[in-house]
Structure 1
Amino acid sequence: MTAGWSRREWLTVIGSLGVGNVAFQRALAATAAQMPSEGITPEMVKNAEWIAGISLSDSQRRAVANRLTASLRQLRQLRDTAVGYEVPPALVFTPVPGQAHGTGERGQVQPSPLSEPVRRPKSDTELAYLPVYQLAELLRTRQVSSVELTRLYLDRLRRYDPALLCVVTLMEDLALRQAEQADKEIAAGRYRGPLHGIPWVAKDLIAYPGYRTTWGAEPFREQRLEQKATVAVRLEEAGAVLLAKTSLGALAQGDQWFGGQTRNPWNPKQGSSGSSAGTAAAVAAGLAAFGLGSETLGSIISPSARCGVTGLRPTFGRVSRFGCMPLAWSLDKIGPMARCAEDCALILAAIHGADPQDPTTVTRPFHWPGKKPLRELRVGYFEEKGLATAETDLKVLRSLGVRLVPIRLPWRLASALVGIILEAEAAAAFDDLTRSGVQTGIGNWAITFRRARFHTAVDYLRAQRLRTLLLRQMQEVFETIDLYVGGNDLAIANLTGHPTICLPNGFTSAGTPTAITFTGPLFGETDLLALARAYQEATGHHRRRPPEEKWLPIEKEKTPPEKEKPPLEKEKTPLEKK
């Protein structure tokens, strides 16, 4: 029944069953390919028992060998059936068991009251660095047009991208069309809200028809997807103007992509971290008013910290991932990256809510501004050695009137759990790459994908069961607090789906930003953003700008890339880094 199988086919199916180590698998595959009539033998099973973590008797080995031989035929059928990258598994993770799906109340949102009227700055550079909520007021009162603002950002993208390497595709024609439409609507009194006419950038795993969606990886460099990501649809409905697709580390890891390494505007000799590398760099450098990033395990928080922008990773299920590259279905999240917490609130208001095309999504109320007084907030902090919250941050929080409560988080298993779950899901998402032998142009993923094929299904599901226990433990933590500050919680909070916001809290002696995080309960973004906003108003760290003069020497060594022609033209010239 298995006659004609190649050595590679045997290696593939045996590896997926978690049988033996790499050296053993190669020998096993060679033997099985030469003796196809025997299939898996009891001796092969014996040699594989160590990875399964069990010990079998001779009779048990014979029984398992027979079943594995049958499983090989089943796996062959599965692998012969094509599955697109856009197809998720039938199983859906939810951080709140029993939560209601579908539509519901979205909540009431409006910009926070302005302390004083907004006037157009004297210079274009100052204008480029204004936060969204101030740009919105300038657009609403027609002190600046969307076309003018869009041209300013397009010029800055062209000028500074050779130094920062943050742009994959410049979408000038689309942006100008959207900006012209926004100006017409605003002039006619059809104002859509605070994002109307505001230019933004999209991490290049967010699909937009007519333009490349490269995932930062060489094998997908010319990929064009016909679907439009739900987050892009919702921002268009809010009147926002899409400027460009920004870089991400290959397949959403790090800041190295096929165009080079995206740079930190505060120190161009340093990478911008990842994987939302280009969005963070573009926002920090005043090349766009805001952007969208994604996070599986730190990809919004890490580049936000490195580049000194304000990044919000929303509650899992709060924002649709439809049309966005899948890496780990039960971990991926899409969120805003902007100049301040106020901006993140306005962006979240536009993109959140249930989407029939993403079964993990729900609609839960999001109100802004928050009405709860800060003095009623119980804020957890850490006293443990190596994790202790900085006294300077605690001093600011005390001045805001919050109640500080020492806490501990359930650290023990988080790193192990997220490693098993992320690797298994990512390897499944990109199974075609592994089976076709792709090893270059995808960063460090090749070895990770191969390693993950040795995780058993039993161990993956056990990790998910332990994740359920972690969800319950975090629920207990939030019974005594409303949110917490700091904590080395990337693994924990990404596993449990809790929202986190990252913002600058100072600068090093070298002039690069440092960061602070606040983490809240599930769907608790209102209080989270309110405290972050108050912190920013009290400190002002987010108002500092990176030194543009540091980019110019690098800029002169580069040749500015071409823009991409509009999608309706037959000839399209991608913007690429040579």
Structure 2
Amino acid sequence: MRHLYRLLPLVFTGAGCFALGALTTAADTPAAITVPMVRAAQELFGLQFSDAQLDSVRRDLAEYRDNYAANRKVALPNSVAPATVFNPVPSSWQPAAPVGNDKLPKPGKVMLPATRDDLAFYSVRQLGELLRTRQISSEELTRFCLDRLKRFDPKLHCVTSLTEELALQQARAADAEIKQGRYRGPLHGIPYGAKDLFSTKGYKTTWGSVPYKDQTLDEDAAVVTRLREAGAVLCAKLTLGELAMGDVWYGGRTRTPWDVEKGSSGSSAGSAAAVAAGLLPFAIGTETLGSIVSPSTACGVTGLRPSFGRVSRAGAMALSWTMDKVGPIARSAEDCAVVFDALVGQDRRDAATLLVPAEFRYAFDVDVKKLRIGYLKADFERAYPNKANDEATLAALRRLGIELVPLELPPLPANDITYLLTAEGAAAFDDLTRSGRDQQMVKQDRNAWPNIFRSSRFIPAVEYIQAQRYRTLLIDDMAKRLQGLDGYLAPSFSRNLVLTNLTGHPAVAVPNGFTKEGLPQTITFMGQLFEEGKLLALVKAYQDATTFDEQHPKLTF
């Protein structure tokens, strides 16, 4: 399981195939495949064929190698997805009946603060009400955010590109529409930032990595388009650890505003740091194996990882076609819901979105006392750091009248099939490996992408497919265990994080206290597939009863 822990946290496997001669170039003459070569190779995979059998095998391998060489003459940019699509829906799944009246709670009366800097930690809802009632203009609010991004980024290292010209253009357009009575909704005129793996016309999309630091893509990612249609204002492209691992990129290490000597974790490093520091009201992140949950914890913000397939990844860097997910990072569950509502929907450019429900309903009027919520009893009972904060969260939910039901996760070895991700990542960045440009990347240690991509070329296609079949068993077992529950709770870094990234379930990382060093901590609220509305209603009830989501760092740098 060593490979699993070096991958956490990731944002965002085509399968590996027999690797003999895999990295020869067109100018090279590959060595003849011999029985001793194949005998040595089979030992990697625990096989024991006779020499006579291997003599027949080697002839087929030579033909396969010719096939690989022919295939490599066809350009395969990162944007081309495999023809197969991962389906997270269990065989027993039935659509849930709609819940809630699908209305946002009224924000109440909102006034401008006496001290303008206090705007930095207003919620999306509060800022939206100020804009709707024209107490502040989008241009003024946008300039306020741009100024804070410029002022604090030298310490936080959370910005790859300011999109200032675009932001001011979008803000002025929002002001004109609001003045004319053409109000688009609660995101109209609200500044935000996007993780720099989403393509944006007119600006670099660097993927946080040296080989791509000057890359421009002549398209807007689906999420950028949807947020523009909702009236939101893009102020910055935000950092990610290179190719969506960790918080180290070519510009340094992104820091948490709670302690600028420490990293913000990753890979949605800049998104979480910018929201936590009050530079932007919300940002867009991605998760493959912890890249929303982990930086949300390091920065003390609320991060929604939606069900797999709920938000289009068109125009986003692909790392794992069967695990990548897009979601908002904000200050509260309510803010996450507002942003998610603008993002969710089907998109033919991302076939995964065509397999899942297309609509999202607010469910904030749900009576949480009627919800049955599970909790991973064995995980909460073991000894781990900051356990007291999680116990206090369970106690707070019981005080709200919520029934907590002990739950066990499926025993299937989820950790042992995470090579699905690395195999897909190696395929997504095949050209980077084969060209040798991976040597330009900042991190070159054993646990960094260059070595992981090389190792992943030795994953047999058969084992990749078998792992996806184990995944089907995992999905069906999980569905049975969650039957009759509306959600459950887990420590943020339990086995649950890996398992549910494989099954595609939604999660919200929720601030629930601090470590003895004064750093924020989160707990994870989990939901049934595609029931983000009910999940966010539960989190809102918890946040309404506590104050952790309202606390923010003192920026003394």
TM-score by length of 1: 0.87
- Is the Cα contact below 8 Å between 1:106 and 1:364 reproduced in 2? no
- Is the Cα contact below 8 Å between 2:104 and 2:364 reproduced in 1? no
Matches within 5 A, 1:527-538: 527-538=534-545
Matches within 5 A, 1:426-575: 426-437=425-436, 438-441=438-441, 443=443, 444-487=448-491, 488=494, 489-549=496-556, 552=557
Query: Structure 1 unaligned runs (5+)?
Result: 1-14, 20-24, 553-578
Partners of 2:42 and 2:17 lie apart in 1 by 15
Partners of 1:81 and 1:108 lie apart in 2 by 51
Partners of 2:449 and 2:24 lie apart in 1 by 23
- Is the Cα contact below 8 Å between 2:264 and 2:298 reproduced in 1? yes
For the pair shown, which has the larger CA radius of gyration, 1 or 2? 1
- Cα distance, 1:431–1:148 mapped onto 2, change above 3 Å: same
Partners of 1:450 and 1:108 lie apart in 2 by 51
- Is the Cα contact below 8 Å between 1:370 and 1:527 reproduced in 2? yes
Structure 1 position 121, deviation (Å): 1.1
From 42, 48, 72, the counterpart of 1:49 = 42
* Offset from partner CA, 1:467-522 (integer Å, 9 cap, x none): 00000011012103210111411111110000000111011232211111101111
Q: Which residue of the partner structure matches residue 4 of structure 2?
A: none
Structure 1 position 385, deviation (Å): 5.4
* Offset from partner CA, 1:348-383 (integer Å, 9 cap, x none): 000100001111104433111344310111111122
Structure 1 position 71, deviation (Å): 1.1
- Is the Cα contact below 8 Å between 2:207 and 2:242 reproduced in 1? yes
- Is the Cα contact below 8 Å between 1:300 and 1:311 reproduced in 2? yes
Partners of 2:92 and 2:352 lie apart in 1 by 10
Structure 1 position 60, deviation (Å): 0.7
Partners of 1:273 and 1:533 lie apart in 2 by 25
Partners of 1:268 and 1:326 lie apart in 2 by 30
Query: Structure 2 unaligned runs (5+)?
Result: 1-15
- Cα distance, 1:338–1:262 mapped onto 2, change above 3 Å: same
- Is the Cα contact below 8 Å between 1:106 and 1:365 reproduced in 2? no
- Cα distance, 1:330–1:58 mapped onto 2, change above 3 Å: same
* Offset from partner CA, 1:10-43 (integer Å, 9 cap, x none): xxxxx95145xxxxx89x989xx8885xx21222
The runs of at least 4 consecutive aligned structure 1 residues that moved more than 4 Å come to 33-36, 97-100, 105-109, 385-389
Amino acid at match of 2:424: E
Structure 1 position 118, deviation (Å): 1.1
- Cα distance, 1:532–1:260 mapped onto 2, change above 3 Å: same
Matches within 5 A, 1:129-278: 129-278=121-270
Q: Does 1:126 align with 2:118?
A: yes
From 330, 353, 377, the counterpart of 1:361 = 353
Structure 1 position 545, deviation (Å): 1.4
Cα RMSD of the aligned pairs, angstroms, is: 2.2
**2:394 aligned counterpart, secondary structure:** helix
Q: Which residue of the partner structure matches residue 417 of structure 1?
A: 417
Partners of 2:481 and 2:91 lie apart in 1 by 20
From 372, 375, 387, the counterpart of 2:369 = 375
- Cα distance, 1:90–1:442 mapped onto 2, change above 3 Å: farther
Partners of 2:51 and 2:223 lie apart in 1 by 56
Structure 1 position 108, deviation (Å): 7.1
Partners of 2:51 and 2:169 lie apart in 1 by 72
Partners of 1:132 and 1:526 lie apart in 2 by 18
* Offset from partner CA, 1:249-283 (integer Å, 9 cap, x none): 00000000000000000000000000000010000
Partners of 1:51 and 1:475 lie apart in 2 by 35
Amino acid at match of 1:53: G
Q: Which residue of the partner structure matches residue 62 of structure 1?
A: 55
* Offset from partner CA, 1:210-268 (integer Å, 9 cap, x none): 10000000000000001110111000000000000000000000000000000000000
**2:237 aligned counterpart, secondary structure:** strand
Partners of 1:533 and 1:292 lie apart in 2 by 20
**1:202 aligned counterpart, secondary structure:** strand
The higher relative CO (CA closer than 8 Å, separation ≥ 6) is in 2
From 76, 81, 86, the counterpart of 1:88 = 81
Partners of 2:61 and 2:38 lie apart in 1 by 9
Partners of 1:328 and 1:434 lie apart in 2 by 16
Structure 1 position 110, deviation (Å): 3.8
**2:439 aligned counterpart, secondary structure:** coil
**2:352 aligned counterpart, secondary structure:** coil
- Cα distance, 1:536–1:106 mapped onto 2, change above 3 Å: closer
- Is the Cα contact below 8 Å between 2:100 and 2:366 reproduced in 1? no
Amino acid at match of 1:426: G
- Is the Cα contact below 8 Å between 2:92 and 2:479 reproduced in 1? no
* Offset from partner CA, 1:294-339 (integer Å, 9 cap, x none): 0011001100011001000000000000000000000000100001
Matches within 5 A, 1:31-42: 39-42=32-35
- Over the matched positions of the two proteins, sequence identity in percent amounts to 49
Structure 1 position 454, deviation (Å): 0.6
TM-score by length of 2: 0.90
